[in-house]
């Protein structure tokens, strides 16, 4: 190899090393979890949660979902969104015993979650289920009509047991946004929520607001795999969800 090309290669290498060094220091922590006023309105009230709190001085929540419920990509399980949700609810209702069961299993979507409803949800006799889904269905291009049907079926089964539901939409992340028809799954979830009068937590819209309006870079709230949330993302989602649930529980 000629000497000149060696120098060119060497300078490219140094330039690359410098740019990656810049990427190591992201914008420093900002504790604010932003949202638009309407985004914390879940679209349905949670009277049964209130009834349970009045009657039993307890509120039992099951967080059903995939990796972003499990907390994949967080530095520890204490930074998953259900852990933060528990903290928010317990602080807000000190006289109520709040329990949040984390029933997130990575890689799953509506089909596999329906298979474990009995074991993972009904067995705990929860008052409220936060159901996070849609991301894996979209990543695997599940038929949208089938997704719609299975989701509605799952809601009907939970309603039959007298359980209230909050649906959580997919995350705003590079891997999800790059899909061809990710909007279809979001639309299906909104439709089902309206048809069945179920609360919907718009995680996608909130995170989109962070990216587009607050101009937070992806690295601020998304992991370096381009799909999962990081500690900040999970904590904010847990906190905002807790706030939204509090507003939906009648006084």
Partner 1 sequence: MLIRVPVGRIVASLAAGAALFCIGAVSEAQTAGPKAETTATRPARSTPKSSYSAASAKARRARLARARAAAKAREAREARTPRFRVDESGREVPDVRAEAAIIYDPETREVLWGDHVEDQRSMASITKVMTALVFLDSGADLAMPVTVQRSDVWRASTTYLRSGYKLTAGDLLNLLLVGSDNAAARALARVSPYESTGFIEQMNLLGLVQEPTRAVLETALLRFRPANLDVLPLYIVVLASFALTLPALRRAPWLTLAGSALVYFVARRFGWNLAAFPEGKTWYFDPFMWQLAFYLGAAFAADGRVGERLRPYAKLLAPTAVVTLLIAGFIALSWEFNALGHMVPDWLGRLIYPIDKTTLDPLRLLHFLALAYLAQLLIRPDATFLRWPLASPLRRCGEHSLLVFCIGTFLSFSAHIALDAWGPTLTAQLLVSALGIGVLIAVAYIADWYKKKQAAA
Q: What does the binding site for partner 1 look like in residue numbers (CB under 8 A)?
A: 1, 6, 9-10, 12-13, 16, 19-20, 22-23, 25-26, 28-29, 31, 57-58, 72, 75-79, 83-84, 86-87, 90, 94-95, 97, 99-100, 105-107, 139, 174-175, 177-180, 211, 215, 217-219, 222, 224-228, 231, 235
CA-wise closest residue to 45 among 251, 200, 249: 249
For the bound state, the minimum distance from the C-beta of residue 171 to partner 1, rounded and expressed in Å, comes to 11
Sheet holding 58-65, edge to edge: 97-104, 58-65, 128-132, 164-168, 199-201
For the bound state, the minimum distance from the C-beta of residue 46 to partner 1, rounded and expressed in Å, comes to 22
Q: Is 164 helix (H, G, I), strand (E, B) or coil?
A: strand
Q: Which is nearer to partner 1, 193 or 230 (by Cβ)?
A: 230
- Residue indicated by tokens 């847990």: 238
Q: Which is nearer to partner 1, 217 or 250 (by Cβ)?
A: 217
For the bound state, the minimum distance from the C-beta of residue 130 to partner 1, rounded and expressed in Å, comes to 16
Cα separation, 204 vs 68, whole angstroms: 13
Count of CB atoms within 10 A of residue 172's CB?
23
For the bound state, the minimum distance from the C-beta of residue 44 to partner 1, rounded and expressed in Å, comes to 28
Residue 132 token pair = 């996070």
DSSP secondary structure string for all residues of 2-22: -HHHHHHHHHHHHHHHHHHHH
For the bound state, the minimum distance from the C-beta of residue 208 to partner 1, rounded and expressed in Å, comes to 12
Q: Which is nearer to partner 1, 224 or 247 (by Cβ)?
A: 224
Q: Which is nearer to partner 1, 46 or 63 (by Cβ)?
A: 63
């Amino acid at each position: 190899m000629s000497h000149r090309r060696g120098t060119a290669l060497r300078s490219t290498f140094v330039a690359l090393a410098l740019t990656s060094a810049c990427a190591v220091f992201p914008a420093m922590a900002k504790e604010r979890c932003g949202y638009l006023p309407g985004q914390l309105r879940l679209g349905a009230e949670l009277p049964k949660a209130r009834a349970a709190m009045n009657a039993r001085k307890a509120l039992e929540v099951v967080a059903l979902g995939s990796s972003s419920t499990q907390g994949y990509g967080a530095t520890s399980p204490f930074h998953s969104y259900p852990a933060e949700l528990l903290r928010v609810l317990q602080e807000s209702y000190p006289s109520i015993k709040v329990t949040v069961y984390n029933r997130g299993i990575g890689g799953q979507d509506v089909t596999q979650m329906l298979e474990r409803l009995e074991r993972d949800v009904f067995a705990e006799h929860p008052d409220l289920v936060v159901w996070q889904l849609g991301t894996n269905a979209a990543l695997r291009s599940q038929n949208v009509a089938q997704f719609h049907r299975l989701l509605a079926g799952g809601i009907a089964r939970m309603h039959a047991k007298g359980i209230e539901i909050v649906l959580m939409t997919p995350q705003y992340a590079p891997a999800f946004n790059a899909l061809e028809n990710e909007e279809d799954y979001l639309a299906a979830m909104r439709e089902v929520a309206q048809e069945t009068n179920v609360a919907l937590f718009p995680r996608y819209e909130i995170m989109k607001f962070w990216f587009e309006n607050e101009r937070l870079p992806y690295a601020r709230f998304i992991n370096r795999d381009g799909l999962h949330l990081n500690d900040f993302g999970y904590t904010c989602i847990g906190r905002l969800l807790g706030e939204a649930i509090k507003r939906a529980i009648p006084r």
